Amino acid sequence: MLPSAVAGHDLEFLTTFVVNGTVAIDAGALGFWGDLDGQLRVGHVFLSHSHADHVCSLPIFVTNTLDERARNIVVHGHAPVVDSLSRDVFNGRLWPDFLRPASGTRPLLELEETSEGRCCEVDGLRITPIPVDHPVPTMAHLVDDGESAVVISTDSAPTRELWRVAARMPRLKAVFLGASFPEEQSALARIAGHLTPGQVDEELAKIAAGVPVYAVHIKPGHRDAVIDQLRALGRRNLVIGRSDADYVF
Ligand SMILES: [Zn+2]
Ligand SMILES: [Zn+2]
């Protein structure tokens, strides 16, 4: 995972996972990553949904390494997120329209529309978007390199299809699961389409026993309470994720 913009703490304001150095899942923190060579190596970005904490640094990321790139950045997303990028971000107001540049010049960014359940092969990875439950259309991602597979699902209420697909993946080595709000904010969690620790416990029952589940996307203002409540579940395979950690599976 990439740390949020400000170093020296473990609060998660923004969301980006970099896989094998070249593929990013979400672009909340990607353009604010202090390692510019690391940014340059990332050529593909898969977006889970259009919320700002997952896309806000995408325009900055594209601009940061523009001059040194031999090939375009490819952004992969389902139709609603592609539409949002086109209308809300690269619209000539919030940021220049890199998708439809002046005639005679090439676009600086390619958008690849994904379909739910259809796998994309990129840089030795098979990445499959799977729909989850959130206030805007949202995909979790199953990332598989042929030896190990992980699920990344940061923003979802309790869900089913994802766990049905994950159960059929024999190489599943880890799940990164959003655990955003403390129990006392369950009404807000329901409106926001996020999990409380009690709901994380129910989701764990749908995941193969023994697969480590990393709790991520914890709301910064409630981090200590959420972590206390997650630990109180007593689940041995539940780990508090760290946004500055490199995970190897
Ligand atoms: Zn969201
Ligand atoms: Zn989010």
Q: Render pLDDT for 15-53 as a digit per residue (tens, 0 to 9).
A: 999 999 999 999 999 999 999 999 999 999 999 999 999
If one compares 108 and 217, the residue with the highest pLDDT of the two is 217
- The Å distance, Cα 31 to ligand 1 centre, comes to 18
pLDDT for position 3: 65
- The Å distance, Cα 51 to ligand 2 centre, comes to 6
- The Å distance, Cα 103 to ligand 2 centre, comes to 36
Q: Are strands 109-113 and 73-77 parallel, antiparallel or unpaired?
A: parallel
Q: What percent of the chain has pLDDT over 70?
A: 96
- The Å distance, Cα 237 to ligand 1 centre, comes to 25
pTM, full prediction:
0.95
- The Å distance, Cα 70 to ligand 1 centre, comes to 32
- pLDDT, tens digit (0-9, with 9 covering 90-100), for 94-138: 999 888 877 767 777 899 999 999 999 999 999 999 999 999 999
